[in-house]
Amino acid sequence: MATAWRRSTLCFRERWPLHHPQYYRCYYQLPADLVMLCWLIMMAFFLVEVAGVLEGRVSSEGCLPREKDALLLYKAAIEDPSDRLSSWQEAQGDDCCAWTGVVCYNRTGRVRVAELNLQNPIGGQLNWWEYSLRGELLHPSLLSLSHLQSLNLSFNDFEATQIPPLVGSLHKLSRLLIVDFGDNKFSGNIPSWIGQSWQRLRILRLSSNMFNGNIDSQLGYLRDLQIIDFANNKLSGTIPHSFGNFSTMISSSVELLPSFDVPMEILEVVETCSGSESITLVTKGDQLTFSSILYLVKSIDLSNNELTYEIPEELGYLVGLHTLNLSRNYFKGKIPDSISKMSSLETLDLSFNNLSGVIPQGLSQLNALSHLNLSYNNLSGNIPSGNQLQTLDDVSIYIAGVEGRVSSEGCLQRERDALLLYKAAIKDPSGRLSSWRAQVDCCAWTDVVCHNTTGIVRVAELNLQNPNANQDDNLWETASRGELLHPSLLSLTHL
């Protein structure tokens, strides 16, 4: 006999106008048994969730046993000549969150490994490779660290191997925000699956390896990338047009993070977890290390590769980008006009390429620009005039055939100020520095010689030899004294 549902009424009441005779009405009916079943299911889920959280907070004083076991398996699979993993012990009660290179968080009420930083501690120093980790550095045990957000294996030795197929399984590590495989000996192509698997990546550093082949267009699917560093490889082909899709770089706002289920994750990895995560980038012509402000940096560095063809116009969409370094490649054609739209750009380095044509006039409107290097190309015409380019004091736009001067007439303000500081620090009994006055162009001062070979006037020679050097009688009377090697001389970088 079929079971009959006992029908009852569950009223979802809706207000009617006050003057209506039926002030409330029932507008839907469900069987009471079905309603009760729904409530029981909801309560069961709620109690399971609460129990799980309480269990994690009460019983988990350290990392999970399965994550600890995974790390011990990882240690067993690699060679550690520097013994930097000596703290990774199997002893009972030994918390893996206290191990070298391991950082945990307790955000979910249960301690989970969030960061694995196995960067060589003496990376970049003499003989650093002698202390590199070797072996199966991408061991399957890593897949057990399902909450991993940062993986840093830089300055180790992958012995000229390609990224193994196993890494394709790392798509299971869907929480990864930072991947640093820089300064290893990886070879072969950059795997295309990276663009499909690590959708939440913010930082991807593969620099100083031996990667070759084209840059796969699927990397454009990593819309949240804010730092791409592929410098110092052997990459060829061109820059994919899909690089214009990086939504984080398109935005010029510092409110970088979308509404993930864990808001401000990148700050947790970089700051809250350890503060140890950092990255070194070439910006403004120098190597700078970013750590606590890492989440604010937006950079693309493809320098020192074998990239060719034209620079795609799509890069101009990245109006939030701070650093663009495409130097030391084989790019040809003109500088894209769209670069003039990159309003947040602070560093632009296109030096040592085969670029031709004129320099876009719009570059003079990039108000944030503080370092520009277009040297060693085949550019022609005039250097654009404009307020912003006149403020650059470290510009390098030396190109044969290009006419014009970027700065205002005369030496730079900072070099003139440096020379005035120098004058104040010494004694000048002969008065030969009397021409050194603030209202006079320092290039016209006695003993100062400037040049303009870089498109901007720089102090190139400072000759303070005693004019009576060959006259023994007056030599000491006219000699300059004081702090003749004053620190202000350091500002004369083109001396």
Using one digit for the tens of pLDDT, what is the confidence trace for 428-472? 777 777 778 777 777 777 778 777 655 456 676 777 776 665 555
To the question of pTM greater than 0.75 for the whole model, the response is no
Write the pLDDT tens digit of every residue in 325-369. Answer: 999 999 999 999 999 888 888 889 998 899 999 888 888 888 888
Confidence (pLDDT) at 432: 76
Confidence (pLDDT) at 4: 39
24 pLDDT higher than 60: no
Confidence (pLDDT) at 331: 95
Return all residues near 491 (Cβ < 8 A) that are at least 6 apart. Answer: 414, 415, 417, 418
**Residue 434 one-letter amino acid:** S
The closest of 66, 210, 218 to 143, measured between CA atoms, is: 66
Confidence (pLDDT) at 20: 42
- Phi, psi at residue 129, to the nearest 5°? -65, -20
DSSP β-ladder status, 210-214 and 234-236: parallel
Confidence of residue 400 (pLDDT cuts 50, 70, 90): very low
- Give, rounded to a whole angstrom, the gap between the first and last alpha carbons of the chain: 103
Confidence of residue 481 (pLDDT cuts 50, 70, 90): low
Confidence of residue 296 (pLDDT cuts 50, 70, 90): low
Residue indicated by tokens 């990086």: 246
Write the pLDDT tens digit of every residue in 124-136. Answer: 566 666 677 777 7
Element (H, E) at 152: strand 150-152
Confidence (pLDDT) at 266: 37
107 pLDDT higher than 90: no
Residue 76: count of CB within 10 angstroms of its CB: 12
CA dist 419 and 9 (Å) reads 92
- Burial string for 374-404 (b: 16+ CB within 10 Å, else e) reads bbbbebeeebbebebbeebbbbbbbbeebee
Q: Mind giving me the DSSP string for 186-245?
A: -EEPPPTTHHHH-TT-SEEE--SSEEEEEPPGGGGG-TT--EEE--SSEEES---GGGGG
205 pLDDT higher than 70: yes
210 strand-pairing partners: 187
Is the CB of residue 125 less than 8 Å from the CB of residue 183?
no
